[in-house]
Amino acid sequence: MPKGSITERTYIMVKPDGVQRGLVGEIMARFEKRGYKLIALKMRTADEALLKKHYCDLVEKPFFPSLLSFMTSGPVVSMVWEGLDAVKQGRQMLGETNPLASKPGSIRGDFCIDMGKNICHGSDSVESAENEIALWFTPEEVLKYDQTRAAHIY
Ligand code: RTP
């Protein structure tokens, strides 16, 4: 994908705590209002096998068992958002991994304080976004449509 592409994509996931706390709409609204385009959306309870692939670089970490237990504790909402600089801007909108280091105005900076329950996930590079999108969605679930056509307003 060329840098600066309007079709850059990022994988954003509302984690079980964000779903349980009723923050799905708030998180989606921030991406919509910013100007990003929703091209895939799914709710599911992830299993261990899927999460081991998603967090493949963390499986040896001491906190991995508690991360796994938390991430399988309830449904997650998986999304693909498309638009200019989607990966980097998405991470900025989420805030830092540690909510206490996250600025007010970011999702984590506004809604959480616990690193283990930091509400959301966002891809950290264009390459990992592509891998994560392929892991959480089938190609058919990632849609192509023209958002500029206003035909449905009237
Ligand atoms: P995420 O994948 O969830 O967006 O998080 P991230 O890239 O900001 O951070 P990453 O290092 O990939 O960690 C994934 C998730 O594991 C939990 N974590 N706990 N106790 C700890 O030291 C620790 N470190 C990471 C967090 O929930 C983090 O989001």
pLDDT in tens, 137-149: 999 999 999 887 6
Q: Is 121 a catalytic residue?
A: yes
User: Which of 30, 1, 22 minimizes the C-alpha distance to 89?
Assistant: 30
CA dist 20 → 7, 14, 117 (Å): 31, 10, 11
Which pLDDT belongs to residue 81? 98
Q: Kindly give the distance from the C-alpha atom of residue 95 to the centroid of ligand 1, in angstroms, as a whole number.
A: 12
What does the DSSP 8-state code read for residue 104? B
Question: Is the four-CA dihedral 131, 87, 94, 139 of positive or negative sign?
Answer: negative
Nearest residue by C-alpha to atom 22 in ligand 1: 63
CA–centroid distance, residue 64 to ligand 1 (Å): 9
- Spatial strand order in the sheet of 76-82: 37-44, 76-82, 9-14, 120-122
Chain segment 88-117, per-residue pLDDT in tens: 999 999 999 999 999 999 999 999 999 999
ipTM of the complex: 0.90
Taking a C-beta distance cutoff of 8 angstroms, is the pair 18, 24 a contact?
Answer: yes
90 lines ligand 1 (CB under 6 A): no
124 lines ligand 1 (CB under 6 A): yes
Residue 70 has pLDDT above 60, yes or no: yes
Residue 5 pLDDT class (50, 70, 90 cuts): confident
Mean pLDDT of 33-43: 97
Q: What is the pTM of this model?
A: 0.94
Query: Stretch 110-126: mean pLDDT, rounded?
Result: 97
Q: Tell how far the Cα of 65 is from the centroid of ligand 1, in angstroms.
A: 12
Closest Cα to atom 1, ligand 1: which residue? Answer: 121
Which residue's CA is the closest to the ligand 1 atom numbered 3? 121
Q: Is any ligand 1 atom within 6 A of the Cβ of residue 122? A: yes
Are residues 12 and 90 in contact, defined by beta-carbon separation less than 8 angstroms?
yes
Q: What is the pLDDT of residue 149?
A: 66
For the CA of 117, the closest atom of ligand 1 is 27
Tell the burial category of 146 from Cβ atoms under 10 Å away from its Cβ (0-12, 13-18, 19+).
Answer: exposed
